[in-house]
Structure 1
């Protein structure tokens, strides 16, 4: 059995990889709670209020990642000298985007997504500032947070509670299946999420690099942001 007593000990390696993700999910829970309150008429909550919650979430999680930056020894620049791996990472990011925007089938979707719609704001400065914060959060903060949680910590923790003794990118079928499915279920588009989780994990197995997974994930999210702004398909945000 895994020893879980040190999972939330700030001095242990697990905590810096779990805490940013947990904080991110806490913000989502708060947002959904507020939506529930507003929907059921318990309290009047203007829709544009949720737009302002995202930059708060981005800054909060970003600061936590920065505070624990020295713990993330798996994020290195050495792998960025391999042109072949960089190409693979970029190609992966593009492929995930193309598949993602074409997998929004109703049967593969849980609930509905209200999305992030900055057109609700009339003030240009505020609107562009929030768009910038959304792209920054999605393309930088979220990929770092998710990759160190899912593919650096969880995949290895499933193999051994002493996860730091497990090499980055070590394959076992249970860790691959559990990690991929859980990553998918985190998303409203659960099947697209499973697809993305599987592809990013295969990239990890090929390159043995969390950094390149962050690059691919960040590129997917950045291009998705551009796509959303061009098409006004806010449900993808």
Structure 2
């Protein structure tokens, strides 16, 4: 009896569209301070490169996103924005505690030099980055790819929003570590975002929540001139 041919191995889907924008963002965070570029030029290059990667490498994923719950997602985003700033507004000197500023988490710094705070181009690009680009690049990685990859190396077979304790807690902790001296509110927001992803199974809604949070935070920064919230 002739041997039955084995079924061909299905090619693994590329993680590049999900990871490349976040990787580009992290590279800029790492090398930006050492390039010696003027703030306007660096802002243009940083925003431009992120936009190019999102619209080319990640285009199929980005354009497939859909929002299913507009009002709840916007309301949750506003709530997260309030939670992010609440400890610092309620407790004087809260962020100066050694738990938040130390040799591991670093110190509170501003992403815009004081000399460039009056430049409309720099401020506009900073808002665009925070409210429009970061939500896409971070959610593609933190909620779209990494949790599913933790569940199974064949991550594309794992449905969006699948609950797994290691993935749920691990991604929240890693998300917190990305935010340095703001790790406490980063952890809280990471848990909230992960919970909402589990409830909605909708990455598009997570992008909207994140965008609303960052837009609200940007508005607060501009109104109060507390630029330290712009890491």
The aligned length equals 208
More displaced, 52-61 or 222-231? 52-61
Displacement over 6 Å in runs of 4+? none
List alignment gaps of at least 5 residues for structure 2. Answer: 1-11, 89-94
CA distance, structure 2, for counterparts of residue 186 and residue 51 of structure 1? 24
Query: Map of 1:1-237 to 2, 5 A cutoff?
Result: 12-33=13-34, 49-50=38-39, 52-72=41-61, 75-77=64-66, 79-80=67-68, 85-104=69-88, 105=95, 106=97, 107-109=99-101, 110-117=105-112, 120-121=115-116, 127-188=119-180, 189-237=182-230
C-alpha RMSD over aligned residues = 2.3
CA distance in 1, matches of 2:34, 2:62: 36
- 1:165-203 deviations in Å (ceiling 9; x for gaps): 000000010100111000110012111111111111111
Tell me, in whole angstroms, the C-alpha distance in 2 between the residues paired with 1:91 and 1:233.
23
Decide whether the 8 Å contact of 1:118 with 1:131 is kept in 2. no
Query: 5+ residue gaps in structure 1?
Result: 1-10, 35-44
Note the C-alpha offset of 1:71: 3.4
Normalising by structure 1, we get a TM-score of: 0.80
| Distance of 1:111 and 1:212 partners within structure 2 | 32
Q: Confirm or deny: 8 A CA contact 1:21 1:145 kept in the other structure.
A: yes
